[in-house]
A and B are shown apart, each in its own frame.
Chain A
């Protein structure tokens, strides 16, 4: 359903994303990994319309979305969270989710029904009246997911939602993500916690210096020489 063809992004002379192509099938969970600065978040920013492409094309369900403004892409069914959380700090959790819900429900009571549904799904009821800024990071990340879900996305991009969480919180969030996927929403996850992504994703894409260096099942990717090099250094495999 999501298709990238030769997607390239340059900042100044630097090529942050270099001719990346892949297709994400409907209903799948895909992991996107790679070392620091390999261009993962940049790729998300390109897909969600925050950045403009230098060249290439991105399409969602056959419709070209590259270089459309972010709010249009969101309306077409693509939602995301942010690596560094971007909460609407001075309004309540409820209103944060409401912002997302209004995208397809112009009527307030319909939008509110959607909010209740999402809040129930993610078990956020206790916090709905709280101001965003008073929440701990784990909850902020969860509200970001809730906000994104309220837009009724076909595909959800999660950018390091597990970062900075303790093991219990991580386990809980893993379950939530599977639950969301079970409702038919396609998911792409950027994650550094390898254990998480290996257990969560059915397919893994590996970026290194903006280039897609591996694409396959978690097991395959782990054994991939290029991936190990990218992560651990050039000589690691040789000495083994």
Chain B
């Protein structure tokens, strides 16, 4: 579904990621793990088009999208839930959700999607006219995921969905991710909660200093010594 070939990119003059190859198959969950500053967010922002790739190609559903704008990628069903939620704090929950279905391609299904996410997260319906900035961290995360679902994602990129959440909520987030997968959405999961991310993943990549150093099935990586080394430097 998504094929990344030899992608390099970065900010300004400094290169952050180097020659990345990645492949995500339809209907799977792929995890991308790696320590802080390894380049995970840079990589997915390059996939989403927020950062221009310096070289290499991104192919989505058989189409080369390397040169497309972020908006055009959203139209094609490539949706990112950014790190730190990034809700629009001074818009209400409902307005945030409506922004999720801004793309003209999905506006027709807006009401249907709205019913669906309210069904999935009844709490959001209760607080529908509350400002997003006033929600707790967990509620914000629900709202951010719901907002992405409003866009009928074909590929959903989740950047650190468990960051800053209480353990109970983290469990809930991962349940939701599995639910979304069951609905047929392909998922690219970026996580620092390595254990959870790998358990869930059909396939995983480990990113270190801007390069992919390990890849394999989630279960295989869980048993890998090198992974522990990468994280704790033992």
Q: Which of B16, B38, B228, B233 has the most CB of A within 10 A?
A: B233
B209 touches A193 (CB 8 A): yes
Instruction: Say which residue of B160, B195, B230 sits within 8 Å of A236 (CB atoms).
Output: B195
B194 touches A232 (CB 8 A): yes
A194 touches B231 (CB 8 A): yes
Chain B residues whose C-beta falls within 8 Å of the C-beta of A227 in the assembled complex: 232
> Interface residues of B, CB < 8 Å — how many?
25
**A170 CB to closest chain B CB, in angstroms?**
8
Beta-carbon contacts under 8 Å, B20-44 to A: 35-38
Interface membership of A27, Cβ < 8 A: no
Beta-carbon contacts under 8 Å, B206-234 to A: 209-210, 222, 228, 230-234
Q: Produce 1/0 per residue, B154-187, CB < 8 A to A.
A: 0000001001100100000000000000000000
B35 touches A192 (CB 8 A): yes
Interface membership of A22, Cβ < 8 A: no
**A148 CB to closest chain B CB, in angstroms?**
20
Interface membership of A195, Cβ < 8 A: yes
Instruction: Say which residue of A36, A137, A198, A235 sits within 8 Å of B233 (CB atoms).
Output: A198
Bound CA–CA A234/B195 (angstroms)? 8
**A36 CB to closest chain B CB, in angstroms?**
5
Q: Given contacts A35-B36, A222-B234, are A166 and B195 in contact (CB under 8 A)?
A: no
Instruction: Say which residue of A36, A166, A239 sits within 8 Å of B209 (CB atoms).
Output: A166
Bound CA–CA A89/B54 (angstroms)? 23
A231 touches B196 (CB 8 A): no
Chain B residues whose C-beta falls within 8 Å of the C-beta of A37 in the assembled complex: 163-164
Interface membership of B112, Cβ < 8 A: no
A234 touches B167 (CB 8 A): yes
Instruction: Say which residue of B14, B35, B196, B231 sits within 8 Å of A164 (CB atoms).
Output: B14
Interface membership of A233, Cβ < 8 A: yes
Interface membership of A136, Cβ < 8 A: yes
Q: Given contacts A36-B160, A36-B163, A192-B36, are A197 and B233 in contact (CB under 8 A)?
A: yes
Chain B residues whose C-beta falls within 8 Å of the C-beta of A163 in the assembled complex: 37
A-B contact pairs, 22 of them (CB 8 A): A35-B36, A136-B13, A160-B37, A166-B209, A167-B209, A193-B233, A194-B35, A194-B230, A194-B232, A194-B233, A195-B233, A196-B233, A197-B233, A222-B234, A227-B232, A232-B194, A232-B195, A233-B194, A234-B167, A234-B195, A235-B195, A239-B195
Q: Which 3 pairs of residues, A with B, have the shortest CB-CB distance?
A: A194-B233, A233-B195, A137-B14
Sample of 18 further A-B pairs with CB below 8 A, known A160-B37, A192-B38, A239-B195: A35-B36, A35-B192, A36-B192, A37-B164, A136-B13, A137-B14, A164-B14, A164-B16, A192-B35, A192-B37, A194-B230, A194-B233, A198-B234, A222-B232, A228-B232, A231-B232, A232-B195, A234-B195
